[in-house]
């Protein structure tokens, strides 16, 4: 897994339309249910993975643009260095956008909450998380945060075709972390 960066998000409880009692809230990487802190792409201060290199980068941007982060959750993400192409039925390496600085500050301690599978049709920002966006959590074993418990399960679900044709490909696997407070 490679470090890809940080994002502040507003975490929402499980929406009524997601019919599964195993989920209490949504920690998805995409912003379809639990929104990112702002329309951050327009600021052009993200890194080549389309996240932020450090919490301070987001906090400076928030102060400058009068964005309140107090009720949001800070996430740290790592990602599998390959993406799944469902039509080609193969894993392919992907690269960050090289015109952006990539200097992700590795946190000292994190809490891993599980793994999300996310679409990247345009090869930049996270688009959809089918576990929540496409209701796949309703018939898939997921954590209380609507994530998969382990990497091998995420990889097997993609390779088995479970995610085929639910969103435009390719799919990437992310590990979702929060930071441990000192």
Q: What is the pLDDT of residue 141?
A: 95
Q: What pLDDT is stored for residue 124 in this prediction?
A: 78
Give me the pLDDT at residue 134, please. 86
pLDDT of residue 30: 94
Cβ atoms of 102 and 5 closer than 8 Å: no
Which value, to the nearest 10 degrees, does the dihedral of the CA atoms of residues 134, 85, 157, 79 take?
A: -90
Domain residue spans in the chain? 2-179
Q: What's the pTM value of the predicted model, to 2 decimals?
A: 0.95
Residues of the chain where predicted confidence (pLDDT) is lower than 50: 182
User: What's the confidence (pLDDT) of residue 125?
Assistant: 83
Q: Which DSSP string corresponds to 116-177?
A: EEEE-TTSSS----HHHHT-GGGGS---TTS-BS-HHHHHHHHHHTTTTTTSSSPEEEEEEE
């Amino acid at each position: 897994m490679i470090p890809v960066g940080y994002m502040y998000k507003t975490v929402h409880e499980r929406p009524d339309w997601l019919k599964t009692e195993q989920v209490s809230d949504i920690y998805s990487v995409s912003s379809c249910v639990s929104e990112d802190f702002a329309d951050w792409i327009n600021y052009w201060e993200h890194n080549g993975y389309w996240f932020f290199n450090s919490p301070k980068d987001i906090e400076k941007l928030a102060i400058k643009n009068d964005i309140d982060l107090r009720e949001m959750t800070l996430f740290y993400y790592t990602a599998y260095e390959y993406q799944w192409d469902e039509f080609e039925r193969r894993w392919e390496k992907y690269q960050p956008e090289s015109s952006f600085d990539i200097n992700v500050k590795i946190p000292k301690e994190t809490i891993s909450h599980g793994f999300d599978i996310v679409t990247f049709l345009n090869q930049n920002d996270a688009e959809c998380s089918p576990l929540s966006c496409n209701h796949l959590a309703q018939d898939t074993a997921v954590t209380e945060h609507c994530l998969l418990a382990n990497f091998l399960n995420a990889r097997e679900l993609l390779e088995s075709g479970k995610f085929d044709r639910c969103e435009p490909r390719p799919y990437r696997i992310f590990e979702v972390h929060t930071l441990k407070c000192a």
